[in-house]
Amino acid sequence: MEILIVRHGESAGNAEGRMQGSQDFLLSERGREQTRRLARWLNSNGIGWDVAYCSPLGRAKETAALLSELTGHPAAELEPDLAELSAGALEGLTRAEIVERFPAFLERAVTDLGDFAEFGGEAYDQVQLRARRLLEKLEREHRAAERRVLLVGHGGINFQLLKLLICQPVPRVCIVRMGNCGATLVRLRDRRGTYMGEVVWHVPVELMGGDTDEGAGSLFR
């Protein structure tokens, strides 16, 4: 089985520098152009998929719908476990507003990132359970058929999924840039009795042609 992981294009929330979390935003016009650029790149390299899933949040749904329309590959089913991490009271705030209201967030150690329980959002362990549940579903439904699965999600959940796919044991800290409309292909196979993945390629939208898209990897996803 192969898994093609895509982050949504730039959203209105990204453009405004907001911590989006579970709040719903649609794509900005720049995000739509990023998605068209990704679709052209996928088409030019003959990269498709057999089945697709996307987050129920608007920025991911719109990205997935555009990709399907422009490539002719299967449309995405909504998958609740692909939703972005809930950031609690931080959601909707800009960096400046977070500094003012919740300064401890930006002062935390790197080992505490990905855990929003302190702010009324999801705890790290809750996110890990959600990501594992999704990967178990994909393995159960698509491993035997050796399908390629497209997942259109968000910076936070995509990062947690990638860690689970390629690391054993899964580290708390691992730095991977997940920019808007970046794409990652992971190939899974048995390795000495463990079914796990390897990164075949990890391509940012900047390398797919067009503008440099500086800032496409913003924390405020």
Domain boundaries, given as residue ranges, for the chain: 2-208
Strand stretches in the chain, DSSP E? 2-7, 51-54, 76-78, 148-153, 183-191, 194-203
b/e for 27-50, b at 16 or more Cβ within 10 A?
Answer: bbebbbbbbbbbbebbeeeebebe
Give per-residue pLDDT as tens, 150-198.
999 999 999 999 999 999 999 998 999 999 999 999 999 999 999 999 9
Give per-residue pLDDT as tens, 58-112.
999 999 999 999 999 999 999 999 999 999 999 999 999 999 999 999 999 998 8
**What per-residue confidence (pLDDT) applies to 133?**
98
CA distance 221 to 217: 8
**What per-residue confidence (pLDDT) applies to 196?**
96
Does 221 score more than 90 pLDDT?
Answer: no
Measured in degrees and rounded to the nearest 5, phi and psi for residue 81 equal -70, -5
At residue 209's C-alpha, the angle toward residues 203 and 213, to 5°, is: 75
**What per-residue confidence (pLDDT) applies to 216?**
46
Percent pLDDT > 70 in the chain is 95
User: Sorting pLDDT into bands at 50, 70 and 90, what band is 212?
Assistant: low
**What per-residue confidence (pLDDT) applies to 218?**
52
Taking domain 2-208, whether its CATH number is 2.40.128.690 is answered by no
**What per-residue confidence (pLDDT) applies to 17?**
96
Q: Which of 97, 86, 100 is nearest to 57 (CA)?
A: 86
